[in-house]
Chains A and B, each alone.
Chain A
């Protein structure tokens, strides 16, 4: 095959979004400006440092920590550009293309959503990589100033690029949501907070790497344990963000929950195997179990609130994918798109997490109430509030609250019902409610009551009872969707 043919094949294989985004980045003002400012800052930082240190009579090549200091400054600049600026750039562009006013027409081309998101991710990662390339000569120069080794420089760059990918994906997820301007603003603020968190975490990692020096750990086995503990969840989180972003740009009547719930279920299984093995190796549940359980409980509780915003009616498109066998349908029901499906899935996952949590505790003689009890109560509260919001939205509040706002309604209910009883108590007797302990049963509608002694047990039992009652009251809503979960008739 001729070189021309190969070039054409390669050209055809490139994601169209990457081609478009990079062409726009090259012709636009953002990237050249960022690159120029970034290079000037680095040059100025290095220049000022060398001049001031040189002027003070210190032999730069003899000092042990000059490279380390300059490295710290340069890496901070690099991480700011790649973890804050590039994800914001990616998110703003995506949000503009997803807005109702200027919805980009490639969303109605034959490009699948997966290619759209992977193209966005790749093009913005290339922009980040360009910044890293611009920084590389300066960072390498710090090696000659002593106090830093090249593997550390390389490791810091890898961490930085990975965090940048996480930031870009987070930005794409938030920007892919087609919401009102107010909610978009709120999401923007949440995104900024999240990016600031990622930035500070990545600075922390870079500082830790600089302190320990990666080169001295390269031949030691204890490098990979902590590295994997950070790496695996990070990769899983990036995967989840990718799947979420793809689901958000997929048409609403598609079975878009399947990929998300399937991915989370598999990630949960993988994490469960790891933490159980870790517990057995340590002969007792360690911090990893606690971290795993906390992430699982909170994620699935939030999933309930997200699920109730979904559709009650199954689209023809989803119905076409419903398995014909009853066993297949039983497995598929929680994973498929639909509001009740999501609630069932999240409840099952909470139950499974509780079971594993409890098994680990019993195996290693730990009391039940450590983690599982309060979180069982907390998730029961969330389920009860979610079902209450469903009943209200599908019933009396349908005129004022849209179906896709049911989760927000649940949050409003949680806030109101958590606050009003203590306020009444305060109005009745200000002196008697000086702290949470004295409030007692006035906090019974607050989901966080399960975490405060001595009423935690009462709150847990109350939450479970209330959730069971709400399930009974919402049985028609649940059963209708379960019974409607049938495949499309042939013809």
Chain B
């Protein structure tokens, strides 16, 4: 299975919700779809789910155009929206049974698939409950089961972890890894970047509808960065220790004054005290970080620890986006 998205554009009047987005996802891969609110994640997922049409561009699923042949492509796409559309007066079992029928599953096959899905998504205990009475987490499970009912090759999940408790998130993560293990391609949009980086093979970063970066996580982490984050711990200067208390001066950190000092260093964009440490956001690479260290030592700061913070998807995201929303 291969999803190839080519120059996707979607405009609403003057607003470019999706602007020239292109990427590729293969079977067995989980790709994170990240971006601030209004970045165009949901619009892109809706287009890929054939719920919406692009203004221009196309997406090919194993060569089948989602724009020109949506009916054919729908057989292999499972879409889980951020919120399950309101369905009153229908139980979980009836809801899933309806979708199994809608995808043309025959009697015995339908029963087998539904039993497997109920076990896989842990829905057996709530199968007779009306959907509108379920909690958010339970609705998400139902929604995932619905998206899987026809055994799709491509799964599009829009904020699947939103509103889930920590246990449900761990379970969802395990479900997604299991699905990728079955060879399905998973495209997942989420704000919880730490969780995404644990399970994603790659990421697509959007802002203002434009694709800022895309590719495997390791390539993104290795790529050119505009910022370097370091953690710094320093001993208080001897003069500052004369505060009159009994605490030994050499063991008392003074992050606030240290932060003020650090901000005078060339290249330091921000300085944030975190406990006894200071987190410096340096505009530049490791060489600039070394210059900052030399500057601080030169200014008499007694640095005892200066370490680069291990970058993650969160850092990549912060590096390439500006946090502006449309």
Contact = CB atoms under 8 A, between A and B. Distances in A.
Interface in A259-312: none
A253 B53 CA distance: 9
A211 interface: no
Contact of A110 (B75, B88, B107): B75
A320 B97 CA distance: 35
Contact of A109 (B74, B85, B94): B74
B98 interface: yes
Interface stretch (B64-72, B164-172, B304-312): B64-72
A253 B67 contact: yes
A420 interface: no
A94 to B, nearest CB: 13
Interface residues of A, number: 33
A108 B50 contact: yes
A23 B128 CA distance: 13
B90 A27 contact: yes
Contacts of B75: 110
A19 B101 contact: yes
B49 interface: yes
A164 B99 CA distance: 28
A123 B94 CA distance: 16
Interface stretch (A41-49, A73-81, A99-107, A456-464): A99-107
B85 to A, nearest CB: 4
A27 B79 contact: no
Nearest to A315: B68
B151 to A, nearest CB: 13
Interface stretch (A8-16, A128-136, A239-247, A351-359): A8-16
B130 interface: yes
Contacts of A316: 65, 67-68
Given A20-B94, A27-B130, A103-B51, A112 B71 contact: yes
B120 interface: no
Interface in A95-123: 96-97, 102-112
A319 to B, nearest CB: 9
B69 A111 contact: no
B106 interface: yes
Interface string A18-47: 011001110111000000000000000000
B107 A12 contact: yes
A231 interface: no
A362 interface: no
Nearest to B94: A23
Contacts of A204: none
A16 B85 contact: no
Contact of A106 (B71, B86, B102): B102
B94 A16 contact: no
B224 interface: no
A104 B146 CA distance: 12
B93 to A, nearest CB: 10
Contacts of B71: 110, 112, 251
Given A8-B108, A16-B98, A110-B102, A24 B90 contact: yes
A120 B326 CA distance: 39
Contacts of B106: 8, 12
B179 to A, nearest CB: 19
Nearest to A5: B107
B104 interface: yes
Contacts of A110: 71, 74-75, 102-104, 150
Contacts of B99: 105-106, 109
A252 interface: yes
Interface in B4-47: none
Nearest to B146: A105
Given A253-B67, A315-B68, A24 B101 contact: no
Nearest to B58: A316
Nearest to A318: B68
Contacts of B53: 251-253
B107 A16 contact: no
B81 interface: yes
Nearest to B105: A12
A9 to B, nearest CB: 8
B39 to A, nearest CB: 19
A366 interface: no
A251 B85 CA distance: 20
A130 B303 CA distance: 84
Most buried by A among B79, B87, B91, B108: B87
A104 B84 CA distance: 9
B62 interface: no
A8 B107 contact: yes
A52 to B, nearest CB: 40
A19 B98 contact: yes
Nearest to A25: B89
A363 interface: no
Given A16-B101, A108-B49, A110-B103, A102 B68 contact: no
A317 interface: yes
A360 B288 CA distance: 93
Interface of A: 8-9, 11-12, 16, 19-20, 23-25, 27-29, 96-97, 102-112, 251-253, 315-317, 320
Shortest Cβ-Cβ A-B pairs, 3 listed: A16-B101, A28-B89, A8-B107
19 contacts: A8-B106, A16-B102, A19-B97, A19-B101, A23-B90, A23-B98, A28-B89, A29-B89, A96-B86, A102-B86, A107-B51, A108-B50, A108-B77, A109-B103, A109-B150, A110-B74, A110-B150, A251-B70, A251-B71
Given A19-B97, A110-B103, A316-B67, 17 more contacts: A16-B98, A19-B98, A20-B90, A23-B90, A23-B98, A24-B89, A25-B89, A28-B88, A97-B85, A108-B77, A110-B75, A110-B102, A111-B102, A251-B71, A252-B53, A316-B68, A320-B68
